[in-house]
Amino acid sequence: MFLKDKTALVTGSTSGIGLACARALAAKGANVILNGFGDPAEIETLRAEIEASSGGKALYSNADLTSIAAIEAMMRDAADAFGAVDILVNNAGVQHVAPVDQFPIEKWDLIIALNLSAAFHTIRLALPGMKARGWGRIINTASAHSRVASPNKSAYVAAKHGLVGLTKTVALETAQSGITANCISPGYVWTSLVENQIPDTMKARGLTREQVMNDVLLAAQPTKQFVTVEQVAATALFLCRDEAAAFTGANLAMDGGWTAQ
Ligand code: NAD
């Protein structure tokens, strides 16, 4: 329970990678603040499960992170409840796919606000508490798209590249404060979001399940294996350890070789 008495805020933790990170951090004793959208009853079940596993407290914030006021309220609530956020996992993110000359302006604004600017706001608001305690871990879920581009993903690629730049800057500014700031950059991760695309793609393209997985989804991923949410969470957990203190300003690729090409 090496995270006992630490508090972790994980944005976008009602599903997927964020939920796995919240579970992993709680299992090592951290208080957890969950955030994201979803069915209130299901979220309450998750919150209670996570609280029970941690031996500490778990709270839930329904803050919409495209709103600066909502982020500020969430960070105030976190400070009121726990004094400070020790571990900040900026993970909430969305995608939209369209050619740049047809990219809906509101989708551009949404993706930049959520996938990039929200991390700036949570970081600027968490840092004073981390500095006061002389310890902090900032972990940003970037993507293989923080290292390489794909067509039709201009906003996502721009936001994820920007997130890496923000992370490097924060790492330099906090280098002597006991705080580290890093990105984890997964390739394709096996989430329900990915799984749900398979039947439609099979039908639309007349392909088998295996063809959709290997030739469409995993076309760029040399291992032909999806990254799992548990693998990403284990990496986040490692970054919280004292042994990981020298990792700062890093962008950790866990993409089955995608960006080695
Ligand atoms: P997901 O859809 O399962 O999770 C996204 C989370 O963000 C959910 O909890 C959702 O409720 C929350 N969210 C969405 N809009 C929000 C808003 N406005 N305010 C607050 N919360 C909001 O997706 P995931 O695959 O677990 O993605 C998590 C992160 O991992 C994202 O940043 C994504 O870009 C990144 N990522 C995913 C993959 C992948 O293949 N799944 C690969 C690389 C990077």
pLDDT in tens, 51-100: 999 999 999 999 999 999 999 999 999 999 999 999 999 999 999 999 99
The residue type at 17: I
pLDDT, residue 216, reads 85
Q: Which CATH superfamily is domain 7-188+228-260 in?
A: NAD(P)-binding Rossmann-like Domain (3.40.50.720)
Q: What is the pTM of this model?
A: 0.97
Q: Is 221 in the pocket of ligand 1 (CB under 6 A)?
A: no
Q: Is 15 in the pocket of ligand 1 (CB under 6 A)?
A: yes
Q: What is the rounded CA–CA span in Å between residue 1 and residue 132?
A: 23
Residue of 33, 143, 160, 184 to mutate, ligand 1, most atoms within 8 A of C-beta? 143
Q: What is the rounded CA–CA span in Å between residue 126 and residue 17?
A: 21
Q: How far is the CA of 176 from the centre of ligand 1 (A)?
A: 31
- pLDDT exceeds cutoff 80 at 193: no
Q: Is 219 in the pocket of ligand 1 (CB under 6 A)?
A: no
Q: How far is the CA of 70 from the centre of ligand 1 (A)?
A: 18
Percentage with pLDDT > 90 across the chain: 92
Q: What is the rounded CA–CA span in Å between residue 258 and residue 147?
A: 10
192's CB contacts (< 8 A; 6+ apart) are 15, 16
Domain range annotation of the chain? 7-188+228-260, 190-226
Q: Is 129 in the pocket of ligand 1 (CB under 6 A)?
A: no
Q: How far is the CA of 57 from the centre of ligand 1 (A)?
A: 23
8 Å CB contact between 131 and 176: no
Active-site residues, by number, are 156
Q: How far is the CA of 202 from the centre of ligand 1 (A)?
A: 24
Q: Is 191 in the pocket of ligand 1 (CB under 6 A)?
A: yes
Q: Which residue has the higher pLDDT, 194 or 164?
A: 164
Report strand pairing: 251-254 vs 179-186: parallel
Residue of 42, 61, 64, 94 to mutate, ligand 1, most atoms within 8 A of C-beta? 94
| The token pair that represents 202 in the structure block | 């099979």
Residue of 11, 62, 91 to mutate, ligand 1, most atoms within 8 A of C-beta? 91
pLDDT in tens, 13-48: 999 999 999 999 999 999 999 999 999 999 999 999
